[in-house]
Amino acid sequence: MDQLPAIIRDFERVSADLVEQAAAFQAAILSDVAGRRGTMHGRVAPVHERMQLAGPAFTVEVRPGDNLMIHAAVALARPGDVLVIDGRGDQTVALMGTLMLSACKQRGLAGVVVDAAIRDRLDVLALDFAVFSVGFNPAGPTKLVPGRINHPISAGGVVVHPGDLIVGDADGVVVIERAKAPALMALARNKVAEEAARIQAIARGDTSAPWLPAALKAAGVIQQGQEGQFP
């Protein structure tokens, strides 16, 4: 039985048009319309709260503390890709720093998501390039251990396949399966419109939640006839 190569170069990506559409939405909106699935653990956060990214996943699996395969991925990724790196959440060593992230920006990548530590915080802030990580550590990595590129990985507790839609903002990172992403755009637009209308209603003084009494009753918190306590 033939084995898959460690490095897969060709795979189907979410379309550029869909990435452009998705970039207009908050990660929270996309998470909601995706059934509240696909959000990475809160440990994976933007280096700066204003950082945003959207693009197809270019996945990398490494051994904790070794970035050999990340160097290979930087060389192979296409403009617009988002490097998504399974570093097992390790914070004892930095997997990337200014040099590698500068190369990612120069090559036109949309951003980097690292489920591990990075370093050079101030330089990264000045780089104006979207980077999400679990924190910082000054220790440098080794470059010795083989890993895999563009295989399914787990990053931030979420399964990520090559080509999946990745969207990140101040709230964190959401992963949308490539095949499901097109159908979610209309749902996301509707969700934005609904929330805008609700915000306008709140501004007019309507802070009611019509669904709340029924939900409280279903949860056993209130009894029949007590719904009026929650107008």
Residues annotated within the binding site for substrate are 97-100, 119
Residues annotated within the binding site are 97-100, 119-120
Residues annotated within the binding site for Mg(2+) are 120
Torsion angles phi and psi, residue 209, rounded to 5:
-125, 90
